[in-house]
Amino acid sequence: MNKGYIKPVILQNGKWRFREEDVEKLMGIVRRRKIVLYARVPSSTQKDELVNQVKYLEEQVKEYDLVIIDVGSALNMKR
C-alpha cells in the first residue's frame, strides 16, 4: 500500500476502501462491456420498420453481442 499502487478511499469512520476498477487494473483484469443493439416499434403492424431498424443498426455497429427487439410496448391511450 505504501508504494502508491492503489489510492484508498478513506471513510469518515477511518476505514479504507479501494475502488474495484483500481484493483482490477492493478491485477490486469480487463472487463469488456457488452454491446447491445435495441430496435423498437409501437405496434405489430410496423414490423417491416423493425426489420429496417435492425438492418441499419447492424450496418452501423459491426461488432455487437446481442440484438433486442421490442414490438408493441406503446402506451394504451384507450384506458
The model's pTM: 0.55
Count other Cβ atoms within 10 Å, centred on residue 41: 20
What is the Cα–Cα distance from 76 to 79, expressed in whole angstroms? 6
Q: Furthest-apart CA pair in the chain: how many Å?
A: 66
Q: Are strands 36-41 and 66-71 parallel, antiparallel or unpaired?
A: parallel
Do the Cβ atoms of 61 and 35 come closer than 8 Å?
Answer: yes
Mean pLDDT of 5-33: 91
Q: What are the domain boundaries of the chain?
A: 1-31, 36-71
The CATH number given to 36-71 is 3.40.50.1390
* pLDDT 10s digits, 20-67: 989 998 999 988 889 999 999 998 889 899 999 999 999 999 999 999
